Amino acid sequence: MGKKKQTSDKPKSKTHRVKAKASLRSGPAELKKVAAAIGVSQQLFRGAFDNAAIGMALVAPDGRWLQVNRALCEIVGYTEQELLATTFQAITHKDDLEADLNFVHQVLADEIQTYKMEKRYFHKLGHIVWILLSVSLVRDPQKKPVFFIAQIQDITARKQAEAALRESEERFRSLYDDNPSMFFTVDADGLVHSINRFGTAQLGYRVDELVGHSVLTVFHEEDRQKARACLHAAFQAPAQVHQWELRKVRKDGCVLWVREDVRIIQDSAGKPLALVVCKDITARKQAEEALQVSEAFMSRILESSPDCIKVLDLDGRLLFMNKGGLDIMEIYDIASVLNSQWVEFWKSEDKPGASAALEAARAGGVGKFIGFCPTATGKPKWWDVCVTLLLDARGAPEKFLSISRDITERKWAAEERERLILQLQEAMSQIKVLQGILNICAWCKKIRDEDDHWHPIENYIRERSQANFSHGICPECLDKQYKL
């Protein structure tokens, strides 16, 4: 049989017994220390929990609030007792509840350990409170869920700022896209970084056909060099607002005149970009060209007009005289007469008429008179003058227009006519005397005048008229005197 293992019943050593007794004596004290340490730990946790700057809560797996701190109560406006009597589902916005519960189910199923989300609570007063929620789950030693630890940060102010920013960005985007001006952002190399919707519509391109490509390609080929120089100048002087007018070409080939206002800005990375506000001025340019043609046409009319056309200021000083007028007036340096008083050009007796014509025009009528004004070299000239008022774009008086027509030849012709009429009247009066009753001698055919003197008939008529005589013989006398 095998040897039986013996166990010793010998008493244990004295040292061992002392240690055992000491251990028995110290057991309750150690337990007290542990309990005290646990109490302190709980107090520290409770203090940290209650006084945390963010909301904190212990939440049962079914959603009941088990413990909440003061910060959470302030966030949602409920007292601690009011929260402990309800669930987190009751104060969660309905649009956020499903996503929150999905996370809860995933944590309970041990699919995820924690989750974080932004959601909305209903404040006790009824308004929305945005919060950032961070959640983890505490399990017991058997891995059964005990409670959730939730951290809640009030992010309402941030959300409002984000909403305001989005609204601002949407307004800016709407302003940028729908503004009735073309907007570009262009870098120093001329590459397009952005263009608004109106700009693409005006030029007939898609966004991708312009962004990333040189902006110079949409300029008229004759203007590209100038556009490059202008853009370079803008980046060289970024503090200034630059402006230029150039031609751009639509995708369909139509030419647009544009005015561009350019300011250098910086993108989010600090890179300088040119913000280009581009306005279609084609209609204005066409109107300007039409006006230039019209002005050139009117200038030719003025140049070729035989009348003396003057423009006066409202005080009657000479501002302009057409070339035809300068030629007629024999003025070879217009500077010699500019700013002269127009009334002073006229002869003394005609100055009242000139002044009256100005006043008639000032009153809105047409001033007219006929006056004498010699040329610069003293040649006499008579003028038929018409004065009217010129109005500005607002309808306010601006200048006088004086048109003087040279009637010297007509005046001289009238004077000659008057002279001839007088001569004719004189001649007629002489003829009238001869037509009276004449006393003629029956024998010698002499005529007796009013002084009883007798004159040969030829002398009498010659002295009293422009008539003269030639002598001949009539056929009857010829027959009597020379009849064979």
Please say if the pLDDT value at position 343 is more than 90.
Answer: yes
pLDDT at 2: 40
Q: Are 153 and 176 within 8 A, CB to CB? A: no
Q: Band of the pLDDT at 9, cuts 50, 70, 90?
A: very low
Closest CA to 160 of 130, 139, 192: 130
pLDDT at 436: 63
pLDDT at 8: 44
Whole-angstrom Cα distance, residue 108 to residue 63? 12
- Max mean pLDDT range (292-306, 389-403, 405-419): 389-403
Higher pLDDT, residue 92 or 294:
92
> How many CB atoms are located within 10 Å of the residue 404 CB?
24
Higher pLDDT, residue 51 or 3:
51
3-state secondary structure at position 464: coil
Whole-angstrom Cα distance, residue 455 to residue 244? 102
pLDDT at 4: 42
pLDDT at 246: 96
Whole-angstrom Cα distance, residue 429 to residue 141? 157
Q: Are 455 and 439 within 8 A, CB to CB? A: no
pLDDT digits (tens, 9 = 90+) for 462-481: 777 767 777 777 777 767 76
Supply the pTM of this predicted model: 0.45
CA distances from 450 to 216, 447, 453, 467 (A): 110, 10, 7, 20
CA distances from 210 to 205, 224, 334 (A): 7, 16, 56
Per the listing, tokens 């006088």 go with 400
Structural domains in the chain, CATH included, are: 46-160 (3.30.450.20), 179-286 (3.30.450.20), 306-411 (3.30.450.20), 437-484 (no CATH)
Output the DSSP codes for 131-163.
EEEEEEEEE-TT--EEEEEEEEEE-HHHHHHHH
* Alpha helices for 109-260 (secondary structure H): 156-178, 197-203, 224-236
Q: Band of the pLDDT at 451, cuts 50, 70, 90?
A: confident
Closest CA to 232 of 222, 220, 244, 221: 244
Closest CA to 61 of 4, 103, 2: 103
Higher pLDDT, residue 206 or 181:
206
Higher pLDDT, residue 112 or 434:
112
Q: Are 256 and 265 within 8 A, CB to CB? A: no
Closest CA to 224 of 234, 215, 211, 233: 215
pLDDT at 152: 96
Q: Residue 63, CB half-sphere, CA atoms under 13 Å: how many?
A: 14
